[in-house]
Structure 1
Amino acid sequence: MTTSNPACSLPSMLRPGPPNSDAGCSITAIATTTDVERSPIRSSAAPPLPIWALSATARLHRDRQLNERADQVIVNEYQPGQGISAHVDCVPCFGPEVAAISLGSAYTMDFLDPDTRVRIPVRLEAGSLIVMTGPSRYRWRHAIAPRKSDMTPRGRVTRGRRVSVTFRTVLG
């Protein structure tokens, strides 16, 4: 994800509607989901990170959430009813840590063991950070079911708009 204007901020990138046409900001896809999950990507293909992403990855590193500074950031928006299929982020493409900040509505992410089919739901609250390393990075698949509400200990909770900001290190 890159911005055409280095002054574009994360809050402006997260407003509803078309990607910040009024501020001259745009979101550019580097690779499709299929590309990211299945084939290595060239680090030379990615343009530099915007200022807000550099600040965020520096803080994640400084706060010891990541051992290395991420050099790739993807921003995805999910509306109620949308989800992501079970997957492991591309192993030959990305380093040993994947971090994601959830903004907007809380959602439940499921971690699935590919051998036993055990499912562990993890509630991603607004503003939360999840860091996947070790088995959660390389073995367990993660998914968000495409539904409009989640069952929680407080009962059924309706989903709203969620924005995920994912930080990774490109290998190669």
Structure 2
Amino acid sequence: MSLFAECPLTLADAELRYLPGWVAAAEADQWLQALLAQTPWEQPQVFLHGRHYPVPRLVAWYGDQEARYRYSGLIHTPLPWTPLLTEIRRRVAAECGQPLNGALLNYYRDGQDSMGWHSDDEPELGEQPLVASLNLGGARRFDLRRKGSTRIEHSLQLEHGALLVMAGATQHYWQHQVAKTRSPCAPRLNLTFRLIRSPA
């Protein structure tokens, strides 16, 4: 099978494509090192059950000037695109066949950095959000479950240089997470490109 062959994931009420090796390893290495060095990382706090908690990862939000984005109760004003992110966005948008005006960068420093169960279904993303997730660095397990269920229905190992595209009704019916792990894992950078249709 071609390294660049599309791998559709057959889940009901979901439209998923996993493209391993979407960017060659050497170029992915260059992107990872440059982005880790260039990005002004932040660790925002979220307010849950009457207390503030730091999110368990580092983040940065880039986008077009109008692409403000609300998630986890916070409104994020975009940083301007860097030349490297502009090029990566161009290539991801060409793959997806639609414009993309924002990118959330998540930096998982080790196995204790994580992303809890959620759907990318904020109103700003429209009725059928497209989220294109580019993975650089250490591989991490990506879990999917039906909304309203506690059972993991599908897991996918997100590898260095791979692109996962979630489209259609996926966010309406499914949640996803990157769980904490005690297994040794290299730092991972995840870029999730999206189209903000009605800015926050």
Query: Is the shorter-chain TM-score for this pair beyond 0.5, marking a shared fold?
Result: yes
Tell me the CA shift for residue 40 of structure 1: 9.0
User: Which residue matches 1:12?
Assistant: 34
> Aligned in 2, Cα 1:138/1:69: closer, same or farther, shift over 3 Å?
same
User: Which residue matches 1:159?
Assistant: 185
Tell me, what secondary structure is at the counterpart of 1:57?
Answer: helix
* Matched ranges for 1:1-172 at <5 A: 11-14=33-36, 20=37, 25-27=38-40, 36-37=70-71, 45-63=77-95, 66-78=96-108, 79-95=110-126, 96-119=129-152, 120-149=154-183, 158-172=184-198
**Residues 119 and 176 of structure 2 are in contact (CA less than 8 Å); yes or no, is this contact kept in structure 1?**
yes
Which amino acid is 2:194 matched to?
A: R
What TM-score does the superposition give when structure 2 sets the normalisation length?
0.60
Which amino acid is 2:98 matched to?
A: E
Tell me, what secondary structure is at the counterpart of 2:90?
Answer: helix
Gapped regions of structure 2 (runs ≥ 5):
1-30, 48-68
Tell me, what secondary structure is at the counterpart of 2:189?
Answer: strand
Tell me, what secondary structure is at the counterpart of 2:100?
Answer: coil
> Aligned in 2, Cα 1:109/1:26: closer, same or farther, shift over 3 Å?
closer
**Residues 100 and 193 of structure 2 are in contact (CA less than 8 Å); yes or no, is this contact kept in structure 1?**
yes
Q: CA RMSD in A?
A: 2.7
User: Aligned partners of 1:161 and 1:46: how far apart in 2?
Assistant: 24
> Aligned in 2, Cα 1:113/1:59: closer, same or farther, shift over 3 Å?
same
Which amino acid is 2:106 matched to?
A: N
Which amino acid is 2:105 matched to?
A: V
User: Aligned partners of 1:159 and 1:57: how far apart in 2?
Assistant: 27
Report which of the two has the higher share of strand: 2
Task: Give the paired residue count.
Answer: 142
What TM-score does the superposition give when structure 1 sets the normalisation length?
0.69
User: Aligned partners of 1:131 and 1:75: how far apart in 2?
Assistant: 16
